[in-house]
């Protein structure tokens, strides 16, 4: 048995983190995956802390590691579109303390499985564009802002005018067999139960908005490459609207851990038997 936890979109809510660490200490999972939007809105400055990362997040995981010792899980994480990229270096540096592995555009092999991380999402209506890229083309949905026309917390490392999620995924995976792979995405796949937004009846310039806001590139990637599991967040209200927080896309089990309520949405599963997946709202 390879017990795993998956969470996403904690948005710096202390009670969610406290519930998560309590369950990690109690249940002793082997792997914990965190799917982005980990910090409070607004550069990681929360109402309770002047610096959420150093005053709370880092210290909490240090304490948990000291308490659990050899039972401390492998923690794999990415950031999300609400996490300014200027904070990325802090998550990378924290790897030196053995707290977690930063996984954006990375691959990690353990226990016979391959894990990949990818944080970018398609264009949104929001101004911060650190983690936004064109999806399969330069088309942007009505109401959304082009990635090049928003705000960046630091200079992009690539020419985003010619970058797409589709291209990134092809570069990350090449021609590998992905049947034993788990993908930690922030964006859900397009046109599924996992990317349904509360946009019913909304229009921009007399054009109805698409209620599905996930990534077409990720959807096609899953359909064509059929990884074992894909883990997602980003769209908080999807499971309330559709009644589903997971679905199969071919043989791939796709799961969304985002949740619009105050509770912690905790996904647990045995990676050797993904059909055991369960969600708890704690």
Number of Cβ within 10 Å of residue 251's Cβ equals 10
- The per-residue pLDDT for 41 is 81
Domains identified in the chain, total number: 1
- The per-residue pLDDT for 48 is 78
> Which neighbouring-strand residues pair with 116?
107, 183
CA distance 40 to 235: 16
* DSSP string for 191-233: TSTTSB-S-TT-EETTEEPPSB-SBHHHHHHHHHH--SEEEE-
Res. 43: pLDDT tops 60: no
Query: For a pLDDT cut of 70, what percent of the chain falls above it?
Result: 98
Q: Could you tell me the residue range of the domain that residue 14 belongs to?
A: 3-281
**CATH code for the domain of 161:** 3.60.21.10
> Which of 22-31, 40-49, 128-137, 225-234 shows the lowest mean pLDDT across its residues?
40-49
Mean pLDDT of all residues in the chain?
96
- The per-residue pLDDT for 2 is 96
How do residues 190-212 score in pLDDT, each as one tens digit? 999 999 999 999 999 888 999 99
Query: For a pLDDT cut of 90, what percent of the chain falls above it?
Result: 95
> Which of 182-191, 199-208, 210-219, 252-261 shows the lowest mean pLDDT across its residues?
199-208
The pair of three-digit structure tokens given for residue 121, joined into one six-digit string: 């999402």
């Amino acid at each position: 048995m390879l017990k795993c936890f998956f969470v996403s979109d904690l948005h710096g809510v202390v009670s969610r983190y406290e519930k998560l660490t309590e369950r990690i200490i109690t249940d002793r999972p082997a792997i914990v995956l965190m799917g982005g939007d980990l910090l409070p809105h607004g550069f990681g400055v929360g109402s309770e802390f002047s610096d959420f990362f150093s005053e709370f997040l880092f210290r909490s995981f240090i304490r948990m590691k000291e308490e659990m010792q050899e039972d401390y899980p492998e923690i794999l994480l990415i950031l999300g579109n609400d996490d300014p990229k200027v904070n990325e270096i802090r998550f990378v540096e924290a790897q030196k303390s053995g707290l977690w592995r930063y996984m954006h555009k990375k691959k990690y092999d353990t226990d016979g499985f391959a894990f990949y991380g990818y944080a970018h999402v398609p264009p949104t209506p929001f101004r911060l564009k650190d983690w936004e890229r064109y999806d399969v083309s330069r088309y942007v949905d009505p109401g959304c802002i082009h990635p090049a026309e928003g705000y960046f917390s630091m200079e992009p490392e690539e020419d985003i005018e010619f970058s797409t999620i589709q291209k990134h995924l092809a570069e990350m995976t090449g021609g590998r067999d992905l049947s034993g792979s788990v993908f930690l995405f922030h964006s859900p796949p397009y046109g599924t139960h996992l990317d349904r937004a509360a946009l019913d009846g909304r229009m921009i310039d007399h054009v109805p908005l698409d209620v599905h806001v996930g990534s077409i590139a990720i959807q096609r990637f899953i359909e064509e490459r059929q990884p074992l599991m894909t883990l997602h967040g980003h769209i908080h209200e999807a499971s309330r609207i559709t009644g589903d927080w997971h679905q199969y896309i071919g043989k791939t089990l796709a799961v969304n851990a985002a949740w619009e309520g105050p509770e912690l949405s905790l996904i647990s599963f045995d990676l050797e038997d993904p059909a055991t997946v369960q969600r708890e709202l704690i």
